[in-house]
Amino acid sequence: FEGGFTIPPWKALRSDRYKYVRDESKFEELYDLEGDPNELFSIASDPALASVRAAMSARMDEILGLRDVTLRPPAMRDNVPSL
């Protein structure tokens, strides 16, 4: 992209109602998919939703902490040497 603008890599986690997004600098976004289906307004800084943001952040940390080998189907896991 001309001008040197880049978008940092990010990860997202979604529940039935909320979508949580975090980039590599730990910048967080939270969207209410019922009230804002187009994801136009992040509500990550809303104190009333701090527990939702914290729970989704913790779940993302848990998922990202898994080794890739645990996410593979069983047939593929059996052929991977132990780490």
pLDDT at 60 over 80: yes
SS (H, E, C) 30-73: EEECCCCCCCCCCCCCCHHHHHHHHHHHHHHHHHHCCCHHHHCC
pLDDT band at 66 (very low <50, low <70, confident <90, very high): low
Residue 2 pLDDT: 65
- d(Cα 52, Cα 71) in Å, to the nearest integer? 25
Mean pLDDT of the chain: 81
CB 42 within 8 A of CB 30: yes
Residue 24 pLDDT: 83
Q: Report the first-to-last Cα separation within the chain, whole angstroms.
A: 39
Q: Is the pTM of this model over 0.85?
A: no
Per-residue model confidence as pLDDT tens digits over 15-51: 999 999 998 888 999 999 999 999 999 999 999 999 9
